[in-house]
Structure 1
Amino acid sequence: MSRTAVQSILVPLSGLTLSSRAVAYGVYAAKRLNVPLVGLYAGKALEDSPTEEILVRSFQKDCNLSGISPSLKKIPDLSADSIYAATGNGEGSLLLVHRKGLDNGQNDAVSFSELATRPTPASLMVIPPQFLEIESMGLVYDGSGESDRALDLAVALSRSAVWPLTILLISEDQSRIADLSRTLEDYFEQNDQDTPIDWVTVALLGPVDETALQFVREGSIELLVLALTGVDQQGRRLFQESPIPVIAAR
């Protein structure tokens, strides 16, 4: 399995982005992971949105107050096409998306569904309305190839930010959970020699979406990682209702 660490954090700048605390999360994660923070702003102002100058100035002020020197990248607009093009090859990028972007028809928010179906390898981080410092993180793991890549990303994040990692093994089949547990033990035996991380598994019986949401709502973690295997109803519910940020790993 390859290790893919986050190499940059991208934040599309709009009035909704600022009000949704995406910038706060971007600044926080950039400092914790020690990676560049890039603000994407539209060359053409959106209807009923703050002007380009106000957005950029507000972004720079928030960053400077936190000791971050951000980069800025001007793109034609904040459509999925323009944002996708701005990610380049996307390798190692983490693109922050405000929660309201999950709903179609928002005139200053790109649709999460549009970004999720793009072929860019950039991972997506969906931001909840309220900011909360991240002290620990979780991963939904099901043993699939996509979930293996999410595991790689979660381990890289845990190691870089020194966040304890709770791996959720969710199934209605106890034997399946046992198999997944053995797979993880083998993984960490092979991949966690040089810089071990603080990790633990939690076995939960039930449907993935409802069970994961219940665990998140209990407040044990402040960040959740899962595989992006398509925007199905299960995934959409986690992104829409989670009170903490959710990273959809490529």
Structure 2
Amino acid sequence: MTIKQIQIPVGGQRGDDPVHRYALYFGSRLKIPIQGIGIDSTLTAGQPSSMTGHANDSLFEELGRAWPDQNNPSCQSRSCHASWASAFEDPDRLTILPFGKHSRPSNLTIDQLFSLQRQTVLCCPDHYIDIESIALSYDGGHQAKKSLELAVWLSEKGTWPLSVLLTVDNQEKGTEWLDEVERLLDTVAIDSTTIVLYGPHEAALHRFMRDGSVEMLILGVSGQSHCHAGSTEYTGAHTLSTVDYPLLLVL
């Protein structure tokens, strides 16, 4: 699993600034292009999509300063129809959206977000921080395995140290997960570690992230908007209600 493009909202909305800074950081670190998306409720299906106005000119100028040579990523822009729900198309895109305490994407609820399939979404807090290391929550499920592949790719491409977090309440299951993770990590040349956490899943992850040794958490979720307490989906949904660190959802 890889990421080939970043898409972000443009248009001067509250919360755009940290999103744009994360996009510039990821684009520069991963060497992939960025696309600005404007939501235009006046468009209908079949109409051509194009950005109007100059709301994203400053972003383009910043991209030019960040990548002055011809081999660096480019930035495009387009409009999509009606709401953010219509902007999710290509599974190889990373969508970066504001999900802080004071800024949320227009026309996209958490339930709608968790109903998406085959998408990767970086949910940003209200403030920007450089991401110097990443962590993945692993529970042995299909989405966790897909997320582990993406985390390894990010670690290789962006040279981020990777911590794989196993929250276990069953020793046998924990050993099985550890073996799965170590088998993959042994095949790649990245800076990685596997950490076993104890206690309730959500609380254990939050404790680890609050320690501040890792800046971004990756969660694989199954695309279900209704989830039970203790599940990865529940952890992701609850985290989005109070997110204060970058949260990468693999849907």
Same fold (TM > 0.5): yes
Cα distance, 1:101 vs structure 2: 9.5
Structure 2 residue 77 is matched with structure 1 residue 72 = yes
Change in 2 beyond 3 A, CA 1:112/1:181: same
Question: What residue number does 2:110 align with?
Answer: 112
Q: What is the Cα deviation at residue 238 of structure 1?
A: 2.3
| Structure-2 separation of matches of 1:102 and 1:248 | 20
Give SS of 1:247's match: strand
1:124 aligns with 2:121: yes
Q: Work out whether residues 16 and 108 of structure 1, in 8 Å CA contact, stay in contact via their aligned partners in 2.
A: no
Once residues 60 and 223 of structure 1 are traced to their aligned partners in structure 2, the CA distance between those partners, rounded to angstroms, is 26
8 A contact 1:101–1:112 mirrored in 2:
no
Question: In structure 2, what is the Cα distance between the partners aligned to 1:204 and 1:118?
Answer: 29
User: Match of 2:184?
Assistant: 187
Q: Quote the Cα distance in structure 1 between the aligned partners of 2:40 and 2:245.
A: 31
Alignment-derived partner of residue 40 in structure 1: 37
Deviation at 1:25, TM superposition (A): 0.4
Q: Which moved more, 1:152-161 or 1:225-234?
A: 225-234
1:56 and 2:44 equivalent? no
Q: Percent identity?
A: 22
Aligned-pair CA distance for 1:52: 5.6
Letter in 2 for 1:57: D
* 1:228 matches 2:221: yes
- 1:174 is the counterpart of 2:171: yes
- Flag structure 2 segments of 5+ consecutive residues without an equivalent: 43-50, 68-72, 228-233
Structure 2: distance between partners of 1:111 and 1:12: 15
Give the alignment's TM-score, normalised by structure 2: 0.82
| 1:208 alignment counterpart | 201
Per the TM alignment, residue 220 of structure 1 is displaced from its structure 2 partner at its CA by: 0.9
Q: Work out whether residues 135 and 221 of structure 1, in 8 Å CA contact, stay in contact via their aligned partners in 2.
A: yes
1:93 Cα offset (Å): 0.9
Shift of 1:107: 8.1
Q: Please, which moves more after superposition, 232-241 or 216-225?
A: 232-241
2:162 is matched with 165
What displacement does 1:83 show? 1.2
* Counterparts of 2:100 and 2:212, CA distance in 1: 22
Alpha-carbon separation, structure 1, partners of 2:163 and 2:32? 23
Instruction: Answer yes or no: is the 8 Å Cα contact 1:41–1:56 preserved in 2.
Output: no
3-state SS in 1 of match to 2:129: coil
Q: How many residues align?
A: 229
- Contact 2:167 2:199 (8 Å CA) reproduced: yes
In the superposition, the TM-score normalised over structure 1's length comes to 0.82
Contact 2:100 2:244 in 1 (8 A): no
Residue pair 1:170, 1:204 contacting (<8 A) in 2 also: yes
**Distance in 1 between residues matched to 2:110 and 2:91, nearest whole Å:** 19
Please tell me the residue identity of whatever aligns with 1:178: T
Residues 102 and 183 of structure 1: CA distance in aligned 2, closer, same or farther (over 3 Å): farther
* Aligned residue identity for 1:83: A
SS at 1:168's partner residue? strand
Q: Report the Cα offset of residue 241 of structure 1.
A: 2.9
Secondary structure of the residue that 2:116 maps to in structure 1? coil
Partner of 2:87: 83
1:99-128 C-alpha deviation (Å, 9 max, x unpaired): 05999xx78352233133123x22111011
Residue number in structure 1 paired with 2:130: 133
Deviations 1:183-228 (A, max 9, x none): 2122233x42xxx111101111011111101110110111111101
Residue identity opposite 1:199 in structure 2: S
Matched residue type, 1:16: R
5+ residue gaps, structure 1, are: 46-50
More helix by proportion, 1 or 2?
A: 1
Distance verdict in 2 for CA 1:149–1:54, change over 3 Å: same
